Structure 1
Amino acid sequence: MSVGTLGFGILKETDVGTSQSTNFCQPETQNPPSAWYWAMNLDTAASYAEILGLITILGAAVYSWFQIREMKASRDSAAALSLSEHLQRPRFIAGIVELSEQPEDLDSMEKFKAHHGENWPDVLCVMTTWESLGALVHRGDLDFYLVYDLYSGLVTFCHEKCEAFITSEREKYGETRLEWFSWLSDRFTQFNATQVVPEPAHIEHAQWVPPKV
């Protein structure tokens, strides 16, 4: 027969008829976290760190991409402005006018100087300008389409006018004479042959309106 008593403990009946006391006043002790628990926490922290690092790298890549786009747009704008400045130089314009009236059979420097007189340096300056543009386009320093839009007609026209003169110069001084001038003219000619040649700007873009700010 079991007897319950009041006090610090409570007697409860056991299977064998004995009584034992359970103390509710003594706090329950907890075992410290095991090594496995800490290892799992470290693995979780490492996983989060890897994810955070990946997000940081992707963010930096996206930011760099936008920066490169802005730099390229800025460089293209500066290049376009620099190219357009050629047409604002009086001597350059004078050279183009002189060259437009040049006969195509000028096949020596003597004939070239005799025809243009004191203006021959201006004409030669136009030719060397196209030479420089050809080299810069080939190197990728200038955008092909930008140069095409600004100067393709002038370059091919000037090359036709100067082809006999260029050939005679190469016979004397080698094939590298004005090589990039010819290269650029050939590229424009080939491009025109594979594309629908655009209409003059005042016709093709007659409906153009400025973009909204």
Structure 2
Amino acid sequence: MTRPTACYISSKYQGVNDIAKATRNTKCLEKLGSSMDLDTAASYAEIIGLVTILGAAIYSWFQIREMKASRDSAAALILSEHFHRPNWVAGVVELVYQPKDIDSLEKFKEYHGEQWPDLMAVMTTWESMGALVHRGDLDFHLVYDMYSGLILSTHENCQPLIQGERDRFDNTRFEWFTWLADRIKEFKDSQRAPVAAYLEHQDWKPPVLNPE
């Protein structure tokens, strides 16, 4: 009579063991599924992060382009304003026709009289432009298109004066004026023979405005 009872108890314990194993397996599967969910989420998060960084880089690139275009436009307007200042224009004309034997500031003042500060302002303008071009704050080609001829001619006529000032003081006198004139001459010599703007761009047409 005890044998069936033992078999029953053994069977009962076997069932309990099966349930325990099933429970452990279920927990393992849940942990595995949870681990897979975390890995998938991490992968998606990494992809989203990369897309966000790429989008920010593209946006920054467009912003930089717009800022550069805006800066170039502002620089062009500022440069063109010089032509609207009568004293500055008069100073340029005086320097273009200045005798080349003026090799000291005293002779410079004596020849130009009360107008000499206006002429000196032209030279310091070229000096400032040279430094700004070298720093990358001003586009070289913009300066070349607008002022190359004037810079070369005024520097040639003022060279004796500049050298006289350097001999008297130091080599930093109008250093960027000379640097800019040299760069313009190098660029000019490396290009084809220049053509007047009214001939070079005679086929130019204004941009077509989009109808609203």
Match 1:201 to one of 194, 197, 200: 197
**Higher relative contact order by CA 8 Å / sep ≥ 6: 1 or 2?**
2
2:34 paired residue among 34, 38, 41:
38
Superposition pairs for residues 168-183 of structure 1, below 5 Å?
168-183=164-179
- Which position in structure 1 is the counterpart of 2:182? 186
Q: Quote the offset at 1:197 in angstroms.
A: 3.8
> What is residue 97 of structure 1 aligned with on the other side?
93
1:54 is the counterpart of 2:31:
no
Bigger radius of gyration, 1 or 2? 1
Counterpart among 61, 71, 76 of residue 75 in structure 1? 71
Give the equivalent residue in structure 2 for 1:11.
Answer: none
Amino acid at match of 1:38: S
1:88 corresponds, among 77, 84, 88, to: 84
Match of 2:104 among 108, 116, 126: 108
In structure 1, distance between residues paired with 2:120 and 2:111: 13
Which secondary structure state, in structure 2, belongs to the residue aligned with residue 34 of structure 1?
helix
Runs (4+) of structure 1 exceeding 6 A deviation are: none
- Given the alignment, which residue of 156, 159, 163 partners 1:163? 159
How far did 1:198 drift?
Answer: 3.1
TM-score (norm 1): 0.83
Gaps of 5+ in 1: 1-29
Answering whether residue 144 of structure 2 is matched by residue 148 of structure 1, we say: yes
Partner deviation per Cα, 1:3-37 (whole Å, 9 max, x = no partner): xxxxxxxxxxxxxxxxxxxxxxxxxxx95643112
Residues 174-212 of structure 1 show CA distances to partners (whole Å, capped at 9, x for unaligned) of: 111111110100000011111224311100000000112
- 1:99 and 1:81 mapped to 2: Cα distance? 24
Cα root mean square deviation, aligned: 1.6
Is 1:63 aligned to 2:59, yes or no?
Answer: yes
One-letter amino acid of the structure 1 residue matched with residue 55 of structure 2: G
- Post-superposition CA distance 1:102-153 (Å, at most 9, x none): 1111111221111111111111111111011111111111111111111111
Higher helix share: 2
Aligned partners of 2:96 and 2:150 also within 8 Å = no
Q: 1:42 Cα shift?
A: 1.1
Return the alpha-carbon distance in structure 2 between the equivalents of residues 110 and 170 of structure 1. 14
Identical-residue share of aligned pairs (%): 62
More strand by share: 1
The residue that corresponds to 2:113 in the other structure is 117
Q: CA deviation at 1:98?
A: 1.3
Displacement of 1:162 after TM fit?
Answer: 0.5
